[in-house]
Amino acid sequence: MLSYRFTATGKLQFFWPAVDTSSGERTCTLLVPSNVAVDAVQILANAVVVQCVRVAAKSYGWFIEGLKQTFKFLERSPECHLPPHDWDEFFDHFFESHLHSSKKRALKSTLVYWQSVESLFKQSRSEGLLPLNVILPSGGAMSGVLDGIDTPLGHEPSMVGIPTTPDELLPKIYLCNDSLHLEADQYLLKLKTRMELASTTVVSACTQYWDTMLKCHEKGRELIDEIPVDEVQRIINGGDFFVDGVHIAHPDNPKGLNWFLAVARHYAVNDLQLNTVTIDALRGRAFFRRLFSIDGVRKKLVAKMVEAAGDYAIRKKTKNETLNRLLGFLCPRDCGAACSILMSENPKFTAEAIGNSTLYTRGGKPYIRTEADLERIIFSVDKPRAGKRKVSGLPPLSAKIVMDVMACTKELRSRLIASGHPGWRKMFIISTRNKIGTSGEIPQSLHTGSGVSLFKVLIDELAIGGIHKDGFTLKKIRATEGIIRFLETGNLRAVADLLGNSVAVVKSNYIPDFLRLKWATRGLRMMQQKLIIVATDGTPWEDEATDFTSPETRVIFIQKMLRDAVNGDAFSEIIRQRFKGHLRSGDELIKAIEDRELLIVLSPESLAALYAHEASILNKGATEQTSEQPNTHSPTLPSLSNGDDGSKYANIPAEAIPALARLIRASATMSKADLQLSEKIIIDKLSGDVQSQLAATHIEAMALLEQHKDKVTFAYSIRAQLGGDDAEV
């Protein structure tokens, strides 16, 4: 939690816990101008702390920035005081000075800084510093359409050409939608394809990077394993590092590189005084000091390491990173690649949460569990502001990444535990030229930060998906997954479930207004066209009244209407009755009703016919069973398929008719009082919520059963005479 203190030199210092620093905390020190009253400093500092209670530690800097900008203004303007005599004049001067104080800074960044000032003084109102009637200048007045949302991968503005002709200014094509007969809106389909390409490109490129890294780890492990651990310990304890006058780790020695890596790993894991794993840091140990005192050894050793890593080292090679990769340790870039994959496959995780996730509880138990019945791994990450952890079932690739990270960090984690460092609980533990421990810069390692970014390493691969430098962030990867889900379903709730947010947050932060409107407009236009087509059918203007530019596209849309018709819906029945002639074949009709509700006319005649078929099928099955030897074959039922390939009736199983008959009979005769809720729902579905009517129809059907049995028996006998089950009756 954020706290503050006044130093002996009159400075204001904010501080908060941070496991990724050697001191265990981060600080931000501000010089307090002399023209600020002590009470005002106290109120503003408290306002900063109050605002930071509800946010993650990563956001503390933004709220402190508001106070920092205030102090900077007062240093530039010694004639002003805080609190001032005239607040309106103070803020007018402050806002004007802020806008012109940094010509190098972009206007957008300047306004963002002012928003932190605005937030600070709004909070100070509750402390009595700022009067309620004072109006604060707003830094959000110039916000653009997309400023408030998380944009996806590859997002960039495009310039729209200036119209020069009447047709370009008011094109007639905008008066109608000429793609309604297609299965999907062409613009949305292209956008979805582009988003999916960007998403798969990130996963593919990062997976390839990760696999290459693991191969380098394996190469280093093979070299290290050739030197026994006991032998390494004996040499270090004995202090004799030479054999026949040659250092055992000399690059000219056949096992020189093996010894170098084995001893380096020993010190990295066991020497708590070694703060970094670099060639310069290792020179402080006797083994390496004696080695590097030999002329030309360092250069030869680096060449040997690069040669051993080969193609498994990053393209922009650095000696210290090559060393750490051969030792099997992770760098922030490696962690960024892992986070990119986890974020893409598990968008419930937020960018800050996955980059700073905790792997173990304080008691040492992992935040990982398995569900044996579903054969999957469950993982969760912190979400401090929500006061809970976000849970996700890991797909196979994500599960592999988590297991790999645990393996790569196992030894350095043991080192942190031995040293009492609280960062041992974190998922990502790194080794760089600056530290051994945790890092708060993993999300930034994708395209910014110190060293070679992940984007620079994967620039050629990411270009395939149209991803540029500023567009390659964990937030944009997550936003992309949300937009893809919306383009698949058109449902904000589906996006909210995917991202683990509320519908309100998804609507305001992830799905642009134009996208929602375009999706909703297409649905509305399609409904309008259905109404127009039904209303104008058979009239001379039936084509002109619709959006369709030709009779052919209108017919395609009608066929689509028939396929999308819902059984039991009155409007769908009108469509079927009026336009059934537009279906080209019986197969198309079957396709139109596939995977939809079964529609049965619950009349006494239809139920009597169903029961008669049931009796005939069961009798035939029983006859075939008695003609065979006992317990040798199951009862066989006649096939309901017709034609040589048996495709006319979509391979309906014969046992479906007896099962359907039993279901209807039970629904008509059972008492609801003795049933469970699920059984009552089934009966209501079958009976149309009126079971008494279904019961009466069942009684009438039973009275007609005998005469229908005769008809069915006669039909089956004729069928048998014509050629058995394959004959058409």
pTM of the model: 0.69
Express as a percent the part of the chain with pLDDT over 70. 82
- Banded pLDDT at 83 (limits 50, 70, 90): confident
Q: What digits encode the pLDDT tens for the residues 608-619?
A: 888 888 888 777
Q: What digits encode the pLDDT tens for the residues 27-41?
A: 899 988 888 888 898
Mean pLDDT of 620-645: 48
582, β-bridge pairs? none
pLDDT for residue 723 is more than 70: no
pLDDT for residue 144 is more than 50: no
Element (H, E) at 377: strand 376-383
> How much is the pLDDT for 622?
59
Identify whether 384 is preceded by a cis peptide bond (ω within 30 of 0): no
Question: What angle, rounded to 10 degrees, do the helices at 604-627 and 656-669 form?
Answer: 130
How high does pLDDT run on average in the chain?
81
> How much is the pLDDT for 318?
78
Triad 248, 251, 256: Cα angle to 5° = 40
Lowest mean pLDDT among 14-23, 186-195, 304-313, 368-377: 368-377
Tell which wins on pLDDT, 270 or 445.
Answer: 270
Q: Name residue, tokens 């056949």.
A: 254
Indicate the domain borders of the chain: 3-127, 213-326, 516-593, 604-726
> How much is the pLDDT for 358?
87
Between CA 287 and CA 555 the distance in angstroms is 84
> How much is the pLDDT for 173?
57
Comparing CA positions, the residue from 17, 44, 19 lying closest to residue 30 is: 44
434 token code pair = 């600056």
Between CA 595 and CA 287 the distance in angstroms is 74
- What phi, psi does 658 have (nearest 5°)? -60, -40
> How much is the pLDDT for 143?
38
Between CA 638 and CA 649 the distance in angstroms is 14
Between CA 570 and CA 566 the distance in angstroms is 9
- Banded pLDDT at 208 (limits 50, 70, 90): very high
> How much is the pLDDT for 346?
92
pLDDT for residue 645 is more than 60: no
Q: What digits encode the pLDDT tens for the residues 381-421?
A: 877 666 678 888 889 999 999 999 999 999 999 999 998 88
Burial pattern 146-183, b for ≥16 Cβ within 10 A else e, equals eeebbbbbbbeeeeeeeeeeeeeeeeeeeeebebbbee
Q: What digits encode the pLDDT tens for the residues 319-353?
A: 888 999 999 999 999 999 999 999 999 999 988 88
Tell which wins on pLDDT, 647 or 496.
Answer: 496
Q: What digits encode the pLDDT tens for the residues 146-195?
A: 444 567 776 666 666 777 776 666 655 556 676 777 777 778 888 889 99
**Count of Cβ atoms closer than 10 Å to residue 120 Cβ:** 23
